[in-house]
Amino acid sequence: MKTKIILASKSKIRINLLKNTGVPFTSIGSNYDESIIQTEYKKVKQNIQTISTMVYRLALEKAKNISKDHQEDIVIGCDQVLLFDDKIFLKPKSIKESISQLKQLSGNIHNLVTGTLCIKNEREVWHYISVQEMKMRKLSDEYIGNYIKSMNDKVFSVLGGYEIENIGINLFEKIGKDLFSIQGISILELLVFLRSEGYIE
């Protein structure tokens, strides 16, 4: 039986990015409770190294949750965390939190740390960590308010309350070099691995 590829995510952005490559895959949402790991890291001062470990662990646990029932398949796990001023920013839980995050990021540089990995039989066979530096332009309070209003409920589903692939690009002066990783999955590196192992042509 040919090995299937499973994306352990229901993120529309990640699904579309992988779909656009032409790779045949199935998308299955992982029910792993991310707060188990996130809580550990929110209590202490952060840096790129600790955040890289965090996204790796989260991506691994998400993929493992799916791999338990799909032992012979390749499961792709992903996670992403925003790091600013030695603190982690997760998806905002309220309009107030979203406004606070954007006010802090306004005019400053932050990093998006993205973990992408593959597991088979509940064991990791490949992983890649991407760190992308992002420079947000100086935003007025009025602009932030109008932006959040235009995002509606979508603001609660993205880190820092912005979608780089849509109107969120207007918040930035500069972004990192890897647009795929910024959007949540390191597509190019993933394809190199899948091709090297014969899972795709």
- What is the model's pLDDT at position 7? 98
Q: Is 86 a catalytic residue?
A: no
- What is the model's pLDDT at position 1? 52
Q: Model-level pTM? A: 0.93
Active-site position among 33, 69, 73, 79:
79
Residues 139 and 184 sit within 8 Å (Cβ to Cβ): no
Which pLDDT tens digits describe the chain residue by residue (201 residues)?
578 999 999 999 999 999 999 999 999 999 899 988 988 887 778 999 999 999 999 999 999 999 999 999 999 999 999 999 999 998 899 999 999 999 999 999 999 999 999 999 999 999 999 999 999 999 999 999 999 999 988 889 888 888 888 899 999 999 999 999 999 999 999 999 999 999 998
Give residue for tokens 């600013």.
84
- What is the model's pLDDT at position 14? 95
Cα torsion 189, 124, 33, 3: sign? positive
